[in-house]
Amino acid sequence: MSKRVRTAILLFVGTLLAACTAKPVIEVEGDGSGTAKVRLEVKKLFADYFTADEGAKVFDAARIRKGMENRPGFVVRRIATPTPETLEMDLLFHDIRSLFSDVVPPNNDGIIRVTQKDGKTTIALHLDRNSAKQVGTLFSAVSNPAFKEMSPREQKTRTEKEYLEAIEFAVGKEGPPLVRSSCLELTVKVDGTLVSQTGGKVVGDAAVFNVPLLRMLMLEKPLDYSVTFIPAPKKATKKPKV
């Protein structure tokens, strides 16, 4: 994938998340495989802006499915748009590192790292301005010019103030408060015993990470999150009788 295409994809995702209610849930096993359930619901103010052109869609399920099925390590179990402003996806991944890279692990970009030591598995995510350029995404098939218009560049030539001013210019005074209050709530459930986490909190048997969207978009400081767990013993399979 070219640098130019990567840039466009990242810009789209940044603005999409800022306009959405996003609460993905990831369930991961000791070997790094697992499932992801994602529900995105675009706020009406932004949905109206994104679909201002005739025939424009907020989400094109068919195109998203086609793009994702071409990515290594993914199985699309379900993708649907219950309403024009809502996208739901159920995914299966063979390696969690594939979620943020379009290069087959382990030769990927290093956004997510999986390490195993002393019977424990640690999954760590590190995102900064340099690594952000290399991020593939779950939405590589989507292209809506309106998203790019409102997104900060990877080199961060805009300040937070300038970015919010651009949002206000595009959608009005209601836009900046919505972006400021937006947060990505990522829940990670592990198949085993959760030992520790960094950057979030433990809720029941899961680690929950609340990431302010402005922080994710501007990346003035690197983002670091991790979970460490003891994988559940693999269930023995009975050999068929001969």
pLDDT digits (tens, 9 = 90+) for 82-130: 988 888 989 898 888 877 665 555 555 567 888 889 999 999 988 887 7
Contact criterion met (CB below 8 Å) for 134 and 101: yes
Angle at CA 48, nearest 5°, toward 42 and 51?
95
Beta bridge partners of 155: none
Is residue 172 very low, low, confident or very high in pLDDT (cuts 50, 70, 90)?
Answer: confident
pLDDT score, position 187: 94
Residue 72 pLDDT exceeds 80: no
Would residue 236 count as lying in a domain? no
Give the Cβ contact number of residue 233 at 10 Å: 8
Q: Is residue 45 part of a domain?
A: yes
Q: Is 78 within a domain?
A: yes
pLDDT of residue 7: 35
Instruction: Report yes or no on 28 lying in a domain.
Output: yes
What average pLDDT does range 23-44 have in this prediction? 87
In a domain, 40, yes or no: yes
Closest to 52 (Cα-Cα) out of 138, 147, 118: 147
- Residue 241 inside a domain? The answer is no
Domain of 101? 3-231
- Count how many domains the chain has: 1
Joined together, the tokens standing for residue 208 give 């929950």
Residue 240 belongs to a domain:
no
Cα separation, 1 vs 143, in Å, equals: 15
223 falls within a domain = yes
Residue 157 banded pLDDT, cuts 50, 70, 90: low
**What global pTM score does this model have?**
0.75
Q: What does the block give as tokens for 200?
A: 């979030």
